[in-house]
Amino acid sequence: MSAPHHDTALSSSPAIELDDVHLTLGEGASRVHVLRGISLAVPAGRSVGVVGPSGSGKSTLLMVMAGLERVDKGCVKLAGEDFSDLDEDGLAAFRGRNIGIVFQSFHLIPNMTALENVAVPLELAGIADAFDKAEAEMKAVGLGERLTHYPSQMSGGEQQRVAMARALAPDPKILVADEPTGNLDGETGTQIADLLFTKQRERGTTLVLVTHDPKLAERCDDMVRVRQGEIEDAGAALVAAQ
């Protein structure tokens, strides 16, 4: 006798789970209650576009998901791991292996070659064959001919591809991207977005993408609209089971 099948989201735990997350940043007069009770569940392998006005808390939400910012109240779980159970070293190790991060301004290390930018974080995460993996990842983003270039010797689009290779190299379960096309011209931005979605689908990575570009957000499976630190609107697939 087989049990009746229910929504698979119920049987497999979500890749990202936020439950009533609150976060206040800053001191004194600059204190801001940035996240005001955010609950969200992102099923594994989905892509989610996060949109909302400037200052609504989108980047902060990504920082929380990436374990770069601790919450004041509420619960953050990635791949079943509750961040509050991890100390700083544990969280850094978890991040290194499970979370890829892409920023608007690339954040490459200027005195390292493109290959080193990808390989060194792998080494730090204790991943074997870091330089071989990094080289393969550079080829996967079409930069096999730019291994020994420094960031200043590459175009913006190339630098962002290096940043994507770096984010993807540990084969993270979760990829978060904050305005990854924001500093690029339209055509280059589209190429980066194409690459991002292709890699995400190939690998079954869960992607959370913050963007001001409605067209880019629409390419995601689901959308979340944030306003003043709250979720104004989220696709049905993302509503946390309470």
**CA dist., res. 32 & res. 98, Å (int):** 29
Contacts of 198 (CB under 8 A, 6+ apart): none
Residue nearest to ligand ATP (CB): 26
Least distance CB 210 / ligand ATP (angstroms): 7
**CA dist., res. 192 & res. 172, Å (int):** 18
Q: How far is it between the farthest Cα atoms of the chain?
A: 64
Pick what 204 binds: Mg ion, ligand ATP, none; C-beta below 5 to 8 Å, kind-dependent. Answer: none
Cβ proximity to Mg ion: between 116 and 179 the closer is 179
Pick what 200 binds: ligand ATP, Mg ion, none; C-beta below 5 to 8 Å, kind-dependent. Answer: none
- Please report, as a single letter, which amino acid is at residue 106: F
Least distance CB 220 / Mg ion (angstroms): 17
* SS3 state at 31: coil
3-state SS, 115-171, equals: HHHHHHHHHHCCCCCHHHHHHHHHHHCCCCCCCCCCHHHCCHHHHHHHHHHHHHCCC
Stretch that binds Mg ion, among 54-62, 114-122, 125-133, 168-176 (CB under 5 A): 54-62
Instruction: Give yes or no for residue 59 binding Mg ion (CB under 5 A).
Output: yes
Q: Are 138 and 167 in contact (CB under 8 A)?
A: no
Site string for ligand ATP, 48-87 (x = CB under 6 A): ----x-xxxxxxx---------------------------
For residues 109-138, which are near ligand ATP according to CB under 6 A? none
Pick what 25 binds: ligand ATP, Mg ion, none; C-beta below 5 to 8 Å, kind-dependent. Answer: ligand ATP
Stretch that binds Mg ion, among 51-59, 67-75, 113-121, 197-205 (CB under 5 A): 51-59
- CA triplet 197, 97, 78: central angle to 5 degrees? 75
For residues 142-161, which are near Mg ion according to CB under 5 A? none
**CA dist., res. 151 & res. 106, Å (int):** 10
Cβ proximity to ligand ATP: between 47 and 56 the closer is 56
Cβ proximity to ligand ATP: between 83 and 103 the closer is 103
Instruction: Give yes or no for residue 30 binding ligand ATP (CB under 6 A).
Output: yes
Q: Are 98 and 16 in contact (CB under 8 A)?
A: no
3-state SS, 202-227, equals: HHCCEEEEECCCHHHHHCCCEEEEEE
Instruction: Give yes or no for residue 214 binding ligand ATP (CB under 6 A).
Output: no
Instruction: Give yes or no for residue 32 binding ligand ATP (CB under 6 A).
Output: yes
Applying CB under 5 A, which residues contact Mg ion?
Answer: 59
Applying CB under 6 A, which residues contact ligand ATP?
Answer: 25-26, 30, 32, 34, 52, 54-60
